[in-house]
Structure 1
């Protein structure tokens, strides 16, 4: 009996000892439990304080090309939408009629030049000899007519000829006398040379002829329109064979540079300055730019102030609509995801220190989309961003990707 009792007691003692050991092991397992979390390293980042507007893309430069003289379109070398290089041929006029006009103007200028040169340099020996020969012939003709008149006069006095025949002989003598006077005057002028008044008059005629020739020559040069900038053909307004008036636009070209126009509110107009940096996003394509102009008078309908943003690189479709972010100021700070913040009586986050979660109160300074700028943490801290709700200070954690 005593032996059975002893065995029972021993069994109970062993069982109790085993249960106690098992409890210790379970408690140890609870204490060593590790919670998996996702983390990020806190860094100091650049922060932009900006305002957002919707804008429309436009060409910075649009040139409408026209001819300086009327004419018929000969050739159109480009098509709407085509990219063109500076100096590339666009449209030309038919120059056949203009070529004849240029030749005539050139001939007129050459004659005026010759007359002016002759007046300035004086007559040549050949010219003087020709003038002296003309005087000699005129003198001979006058002497002959005078001798004839005297004979007819004697016959008239003896009533052998009529009064009409006498008058005819006298008229012929007077004509020859006038021719002799003109020949002598011409000879004297040739010997003396042209007067200063004549030279000035000839110089005026020459200058006028030169201007006429150069203007027609320039019209011929202007009969070909070329691109004054790299860009794209916006529209072709005329066809070959059409008659166009001087100054009438025949083609439109836009430059490669692009701008975005936005309408600023009165309050923002006071905050934005010329030179302010802008980020532009159109159809998920981004570009940078600067404010280059702000109208000081609002639009009558929208009551907004038009602002012009010049893009650093423009390859957006004209008329495209996109989002613009005007950067008012830039700073640095600690940015974290907004979903990493917990709130009880205050805002706080969890960081990892020596493998354990540590609760840190923080202060929210600004909200930037899905991130917030905070204070209360340090650069390089490991921030818990997922698995936060299972944490408390001192709990062991393991970071997972």
Structure 2
């Protein structure tokens, strides 16, 4: 290549020398040593200056033609160069996924605490701005009415239980003897009444008694027979015990009395107010001695358990669940927490889902902006280094097929640290992870595996 360029340069200089020589010859033939041309007036004789101008113009024209001719010479094609790249074999991996959010420390929750029952407020056991722990006694209602009702319900329960126990136990021996004696008495009374009726009928036939006296004797005999039948049935019942229907009825009465007792015991417990979480009392809405109406706020409790709130998309929401660990960073401060609440109702403006992250570390003011990293459950897919994916309107990577680089479009599904999970490639393909700066699709490559590098 260098010899060819030198040869062209020599030829170019030779042509220039020929042109200059021709110009000088032309000038020499057209000029004389101060002699005037024949037939031309003295004032019209050409001067040396005009001849030089014509010669220089001719030289420039010839030089331009030679230069154009030299530039139009075709250049030889560039030599083909194989690119050196580093590759890794793609494979399916299961790796934990880290999602990144920007969150905000939100103000502590304000809770309205109230009694579930009505009554007169007997006493408050807290004051405004007082810190309280869970299960601390906050206030108490007068429970006199509930206590009286509870005692009555307990008495009814005892009575119903006794009747049921008696029916289940059956009759005592003394009760059986007494019932047998009543049967004997009723039987004797029946026999006597029948005898009296027989005598009255005979006397009536003889005209010794009236019809009224006969009817009275008949009534006495009927009453005696009915009494005998009744006491005989009672004896039979005592001997056989209570029927199933009677026992079921007594059991139902016992259960109703027990439910009444449970109801008033619950009302007694509801007359005592305790918080479920710790916090600070910010307001008291009643005073001791006032009549409280169930459901209205008795006091306001501000929770001192802080939280960070972030927003997640629907795709991110599917990867999260309560209990996922989280790390929060703000102004070089780092602290840990976990997801405590995931809302299933999206924000009407952003269409994202609020997520609460709770933690125990204090000292972070509401409104503080924090960076949040949440670790999800492991996800299976093809994971590649972030540097191997070329970003653009359509992200792509390079794979090596038959010693040739091939550009393949991919979609980034998730990210975790410095790695990306992508689709659009297959396990077993060779992914270019280094040497892509001057690589183009179709270039021949010389590759080495990432593990083979020194």
TM-score, with structure 1 as normaliser: 0.53
Change over 3 Å in CA distance of 1:151–1:287 after alignment to 2: farther
Is residue 287–residue 311 contact of structure 1 (8 Å, CA) maintained in 2? no
Q: Which has the larger radius of gyration?
A: 2
Query: Which residue does 1:278 correspond to in 2?
Result: 328
Query: Which residue does 1:209 correspond to in 2?
Result: 257
Change over 3 Å in CA distance of 1:295–1:228 after alignment to 2: closer
| Equivalent of 1:322 in 350, 364, 367 | 367
| Equivalent of 2:107 in 46, 50, 57 | 57
Does the alignment pair 1:182 with 2:230?
yes
Tell me the secondary structure at the aligned position of residue 368 of structure 2.
Answer: strand
Is residue 156–residue 162 contact of structure 1 (8 Å, CA) maintained in 2? yes
**After superposition, what is the alpha-carbon deviation per residue over 1:124-181, rounded to whole angstroms, capped at 9, x for unaligned?**
1222223223334434544454455445545555556655554454344433322221
Does the alignment pair 1:244 with 2:293?
yes
Is residue 58–residue 261 contact of structure 1 (8 Å, CA) maintained in 2? no
Report how far residue 102 of structure 1 moved: 2.0
Query: Which residue does 1:134 correspond to in 2?
Result: 182
Tell me the secondary structure at the aligned position of residue 107 of structure 2.
Answer: strand
Does the alignment pair 1:222 with 2:270?
yes
Aligned residues: 270
Aligned mates of 1:237, 1:159 — CA distance in 2: 97
Tell me the secondary structure at the aligned position of residue 251 of structure 2.
Answer: helix
| Equivalent of 1:98 in 139, 146, 149 | 146
Change over 3 Å in CA distance of 1:299–1:242 after alignment to 2: same
Aligned mates of 1:95, 1:297 — CA distance in 2: 42
Report how far residue 269 of structure 1 moved: 10
Is residue 287–residue 312 contact of structure 1 (8 Å, CA) maintained in 2? no
Is residue 66–residue 251 contact of structure 1 (8 Å, CA) maintained in 2? no
| Equivalent of 1:66 in 109, 115, 128 | 115
Change over 3 Å in CA distance of 1:153–1:217 after alignment to 2: farther
Aligned mates of 1:315, 1:159 — CA distance in 2: 120
Query: Which residue does 1:8 correspond to in 2?
Result: none
Report how far residue 254 of structure 1 moved: 4.9
Query: Which residue does 1:312 correspond to in 2?
Result: 360
Change over 3 Å in CA distance of 1:266–1:210 after alignment to 2: closer
Equivalent residues in 2 for 1:125-204, closer than 5 Å: 125-143=173-191, 145-150=193-198, 152-154=200-202, 156-157=204-205, 163=211, 166-204=214-252
| Equivalent of 2:158 in 101, 104, 110 | 110
Aligned mates of 1:169, 1:62 — CA distance in 2: 86
Report how far residue 186 of structure 1 moved: 0.9
Aligned mates of 2:367, 2:219 — CA distance in 1: 98
Tell me the secondary structure at the aligned position of residue 104 of structure 1.
Answer: helix
Aligned mates of 1:157, 1:151 — CA distance in 2: 10
Is residue 113–residue 275 contact of structure 2 (8 Å, CA) maintained in 1? no
Aligned mates of 1:268, 1:208 — CA distance in 2: 53
Aligned mates of 2:230, 2:183 — CA distance in 1: 9
Report how far residue 185 of structure 1 moved: 0.9
Q: Structure 1 stretches of 5 or more lacking a match?
A: 1-49, 330-401
Is residue 75–residue 91 contact of structure 1 (8 Å, CA) maintained in 2? yes
Change over 3 Å in CA distance of 1:122–1:221 after alignment to 2: same
Change over 3 Å in CA distance of 1:173–1:265 after alignment to 2: closer
Is residue 120–residue 194 contact of structure 1 (8 Å, CA) maintained in 2? yes
Is residue 167–residue 241 contact of structure 2 (8 Å, CA) maintained in 1? yes
Report how far residue 193 of structure 1 moved: 2.0
Q: Higher strand fraction: Structure 1 or Structure 2?
A: 1
Aligned mates of 1:296, 1:204 — CA distance in 2: 45
Is residue 326–residue 338 contact of structure 2 (8 Å, CA) maintained in 1? yes
Aligned mates of 2:259, 2:149 — CA distance in 1: 13
TM-score, with structure 2 as normaliser: 0.48
Report how far residue 184 of structure 1 moved: 1.1
Q: Structure 2 stretches of 5 or more lacking a match?
A: 1-99, 375-454
Aligned mates of 1:209, 1:252 — CA distance in 2: 38
Report how far residue 326 of structure 1 moved: 0.5
**After superposition, what is the alpha-carbon deviation per residue over 1:260-283, rounded to whole angstroms, capped at 9, x for unaligned?**
43568999999x9964422458xx
